[in-house]
Amino acid sequence: MDVEELRTFVSVAEAGGVASAARKLGIAKSIVSRRLVHLEDEMGVKLIERTTRGTTLTEAGATFRDYATKICAELDVAKETIQPTGSLRGRLRIAAPLSFGPTHLSLIIAELAHRHPHLDVHTSYTDRIVDIVAEGFDCALRLGHLQDSNLIARRVGPFHGKLVASPGYIEIYGTPKTPAELAAHQALMQGTETWLFMDGERVITVHPQGRFKADNSLALVTAALGGLGIANLPEGLVAEHIASGALVSIMADYPLKPAGIFVVRPPSQYPTRKLRALTELLIARFNPHVMDAEPIAASTAKPSDTAISDSVAGSCRLPTISG
């Protein structure tokens, strides 16, 4: 049985289609289809049903997927065990937030490529939350509070936000003192958001309202500077504006609930060496004192209604968008 055929089958099963698997593997769709046909011929059973809408696993295919996934994972571990210091090869596909990635993450990703000249590194900077399995990504870099899913997340650093408004807005509308008072103010948001505040050990949840929305946190900074409302933004985006007096940090008695920077990957027993190499660089940059931190259980992988979207991940914002 050919190992590449096994890997191809697993990729199709995880991605839910031939095209997505081909993108992840970096090969033509015709090659993926040919490998699947050969594997089914060798197994003597149909593993995948192909339709115009995509592919679904047969009963036999669903059973075989679990075994094939374990075999591929064990082979990867065996390779890394006997070549623990060998150069990284292959391709690493990363999804990163557009608002934060180019300014805060690109240098780290470039350092990864510099250290491993035989590794192809492909990064997609986007303001939407990608489906890393269906779209063939090895990982995504996300910020915020994560909710349950079948993905696996590793926290690589802390993430803090600030509630800010311009002096002009405050002069006209006043400053809210408590989370409850935000109901009388205009919130600047990416979509439907939930803001979490701390009152001692107690978490206060607020669903803000506002007429100005944008799917990019940099646009929300501009709106806040223009006096359109109150924004929940990452410190990295507003620190200079606060220092200059262009924005004012408000509600210091009710700080935003701290969040995190996460590397999110598809479910598997072991992370690959190339993914571990990226994770270690990120920890060294954002949280160097926790190099031995354990990965989070397959529980926290996609942004909840209180998380930060990929679009703002990294320097972005603390609220999050649904969708």
Would you say how long the chain is, in residues? 323
Which residues, other chains included, contact 57 with Cβ-Cβ below 8 Å and sequence gap of 6+? 13, 47, 48, 49, 65
DSSP track, 116-127: -TTEEEEEEEES
Q: Where are the domains of the chain?
A: 3-82, 90-159+258-312, 161-249
302 CB-near residues (< 8 Å, 6+ apart)? 129, 142, 146, 147, 149, 151, 264
Domain range 3-82, CATH class: mainly alpha
pLDDT at 314: 32
3-82 and 161-249: identical CATH topology: no
Tokens of 115: 């250290």
Per-residue pLDDT of the chain (323 residues; tens, 9 = 90+): 788 998 899 988 888 888 888 888 889 989 999 999 999 999 999 999 887 777 889 999 999 988 888 888 778 767 766 666 667 877 889 999 887 788 888 999 999 999 999 888 999 998 788 888 778 788 999 887 776 667 889 999 998 889 999 999 999 999 999 999 999 999 999 888 889 999 999 999 999 999 999 988 899 999 999 999 999 998 888 999 999 999 999 999 999 998 889 999 987 656 788 899 999 999 999 887 765 444 444 333 433 322 333 333 333 334 433 22
d(CA 4, CA 12): 12
Q: What are the residues facing 97 on neighbouring strands?
A: 126
What CATH number is given for 90-159+258-312 in this structure?
3.40.190.10
Q: What is the pLDDT of residue 17?
A: 85
- The CATH class for the domain spanning 161-249 reads alpha beta
Rounded Cα distance between 85 and 200, Å, is: 47
Determine the 3-state secondary structure of 76 from DSSP: helix
